[in-house]
Amino acid sequence: MDFLRPEGSLSEADGAAAILPKVYSNPQPEESQSRVSVADFDYLKVIGTGSFGKVFLATQRENGRYYAVKVLKKHIILTRKEERNVMCEHRVLLKTLNHPFLVKLHFSFQTKDSLYLVLDYACGGELFYHLQREGVFGEPRARFYAAEMACALGYLHSLKIVYRDLKPENILLDSAGHVVLTDFGLCKEGMSRRGTTTTFCGTPEYLAPEVLLQKEYDRTVDWWGLGAVLHEMLYGLVNKPTELMLI
């Protein structure tokens, strides 16, 4: 069954291949796979909203474990021609299953109308929430978070992936207070150490100058984003007028 369309499948000529040919119980090739569906979870409440759908706090009926279930509406994805970004997110999730500072994909499946990504539930919430509430962090705390973000970004770069969307809204905290990066829809894959690209995407407050100037850029734009987030942790959030938001 095609990931985005009720019938048929996306070919490479269409711009991408189907990204959910299977349903993953624990999407590691060496592990056994079992089929899961919408009915295997109890959906407790909405914990986030996005351009393509919502994120629910859910429990798996079999064992009572908590997950964050990202539900994406196919018709919105197709209308906005965002298939590539959704496919990219799924591929990156499959490549980064075992890093402690990147959100983990546990299951993925689909219905006629929606796509489901069952992810770690980071009960500490968004870094953005904590910055709004507390204003600024002390230097030791900011340094701790920045170090974990740097580990996550470095790991992505080792896989030739540029994150391109580091901001407090995409940085979660787990139950132990560790950083968990999420939302990989804007990642650029296949970026070697000397590779460059020109795609203009992201949120202005965290974009490197070369991106804003629409020049070629490389993976070092992630380090600029980290610097911007570190500045906000130490000196407070910058104003974010709605009209300036690109993504």
Annotated binding site for ATP: 70
Q: What number does CATH give the domain 125-235?
A: 1.10.510.10
pLDDT 10s digits, 13-64? 333 334 434 433 445 433 334 689 999 999 999 999 988 899 999 999 999 9
Percent of the chain with pLDDT over 90: 78
Any idea which fold 39-120 has? Phosphorylase Kinase; domain 1 (3.30.200)
Whether residue 177 contacts residue 221, with contact meaning beta carbons closer than 8 Å, is answered with no
Domain boundaries, given as residue ranges, for the chain: 39-120, 125-235
Question: Which of 165, 183, 218, 222 is an active site residue?
Answer: 165
pLDDT given at position 239: 77
pTM recorded for the entire structure: 0.84
All residues at 6 or more sequence positions from 187 whose CB lies less than 8 Å from its CB, including other chains: 88, 89, 92, 156, 161, 162, 163, 164, 165
H or E stretch including 172?
strand 171-173
Residue 14 is among the residues annotated as catalytic for this protein? no
Tokens describing residue 188: 């650029």
| The two structure tokens encoding residue 29 | 């090739």
